[in-house]
Each structure stands twice: as C-alpha cells, then as structure tokens.
Structure 1
Amino acid sequence: MGLIYFLVYLFLEILFSYEFMKVFTPFGFFLEILFTAAVGVYILQTLDLSLSSNMQKLMRREITQEEFLSIGLFKLIGAVLLIVPGFFSDIIGVLFLFEPFARFIAKKLFPSRNFYHKTYTNDDDIIDVEIIEEIPKKD
C-alpha cells in the first residue's frame, strides 16, 4: 500500500513540477528549489523558538499535549518537505507550516484519545503535596 502512495506522490510531483516549469521556465524552477530549501533550513534552525512558544501555550492550557506534539511534528515535516526538491512537496510543506491546517490533519490522523495524560474528573483522585525542606541549625 505504501508503494501505491509513493507512486501517486511521484506522479503528482512530476506533474506539478512540469506545469510550474512551463510557466516559470526551468531556471525559475531552479530558483524556486533554492529559495524553498533555504526557507526549510531556516525553519529547522528556528524550530526551537517555535517549540518554546507552543510550550507556553501548552502551560496556559491553550492547546493540548496532542496538539503540541502534532504541531511540532508537522512543522518539522513541513520544513523537510520544503528542502526536498519539487513543487508539490513545497505546497504540502507550506500547508504543514500553518497551525490550523496542522491541527486539522492531526485531528484526522490522531483521533481524540488521551495518550499522554489522564483527565481527572474527581478531585479525590488528586493528591496535593508540598515539600518543605528543613535546614539543620549549626551549633
């Protein structure tokens, strides 16, 4: 089944690249490959800043853990697809960089299941502990 998906991807990549070259010439296609590869490398280099921003959203409970992981994963995949030569892969890579699209795809691929944490509905399940460290007095 994976071979069929790869062949469909390869066909679409060649088709989109051919149509792009008809409009913008092979030299324009070459420049597009260089530009998107540079953008992809830049995104990979700044991925840690994006992850820290999303970590703050996670701590403020604006996004779930699943969304945090999927957004980071899709940004990584999007950056790699921008580096890969080809116009179709660039289109998919750009789409993966948009958070709303990444969230939509993540919800389709990973149904709403809490893999990473347990949701508590009853406060009796929660144990609140405060650790107090005592420093011994010297005589």
Structure 2
Amino acid sequence: MIYFLIYLFAEVIVTVEIASRIGGIATFLEIVGSAFLGIFILLNFRHTLAENLHALQTRRIDVQGFANRNLMGLAGAFLLIVPGFLSDLAGIALQLSVIGSFLVNRFGRKYESPTPTQKDEYVIDAEIIDDTPSLR
C-alpha cells in the first residue's frame, strides 16, 4: 500500500509540473495519445505473441526470454493507458526494452540446445529378447 501511495504522489507531482509547463491542451492530447498507443499495442499483441512463439520454436530465444518479451510488452501497454506522465515514461521504457531485447536476441548470442553427451565408443548397444512364453 505504501508503494502505491509513493507512486501516486510522484505521478501527481510529475504530471502537475509538466502540465504547468506545456499547458492543458497539450497535456490532454498527450494523455489521450498515449492511451490510444497503449490500446493499439494491446490490439496488435497477438502478432507480437505469434512472432515470439515462432522465435521460441526456432530456438532463437529461450523460455525466459519469451516470458520477458511478452510480459514487458503487456505491462508497458497497460502503463501507457494509465493517465500520467510518469506511467507513460515507464510504459515507453518497457516497450523500448522489448525492442532492445529483439535487437540483442537478433544480433547477440543465440540460444543453443544442450549438446548430447558423447557415447563411449567401446560400448555396444543391444536389446535382449527373451523367447519364453511366460513373458507374452
């Protein structure tokens, strides 16, 4: 509860400070524009989810990367819908971190499946079949 009150206090202070500098109409347009952007991101989330699922299936990302991309994208979209400058900055930062993770995963180190252990070359794999009627 205390964290929510701290966030609410910071949100009000930042919003009042910025709104006093840019004016009421610009503040209104920013709040409405960021809400539309958040809604647009949520409406197109299925495409992002499909792209992330394809990246997971082709092993370009691991399960942790898949979860991070999707959760950060959703959280950023919801924060863009919430009115206020501080939440909009956090929402944009989360969206940029998703874009940053795309770039890092695209040009960075790829996820590789674990290599199978080396088999001993002196061991022969065999299957023993017993022909007794009691096993049938």
Aligned-pair CA distance for 1:49:
0.5
Q: 8, 11, 31: which is aligned to 1:10?
A: 8
Q: Could you tell me which residue of structure 1 aligns to residue 75 of structure 2?
A: 77
Spell out the pairing of 1:19-34 with structure 2 (5 A cutoff): 19-34=17-32
- After superposition, the CA RMSD in angstroms is 2.1
Deviations 1:45-80 (A, max 9, x none): 000001111112112212111111121111111111
Higher Rg of the two aligned structures: 2
Q: Does 1:55 align with 2:53?
A: yes
Moved over 3 A (4+): 100-103, 119-124
Residues 102 and 12 of structure 1, relative CA distance in 2, 3 Å threshold: farther
Give identity over the alignment, percent.
Answer: 36
TM-score by length of 2: 0.70
Per-residue displacement from partner, 1:111-130 (whole Å, max 9, x unpaired)? xxxxxxxx866559xxxxxx
Structure 1 stretches lacking a partner, 5+ long: 104-118, 125-139
Unpaired stretches in structure 2, ≥5 consecutive residues: 103-112, 119-136
TM-score, length basis structure 1? 0.69
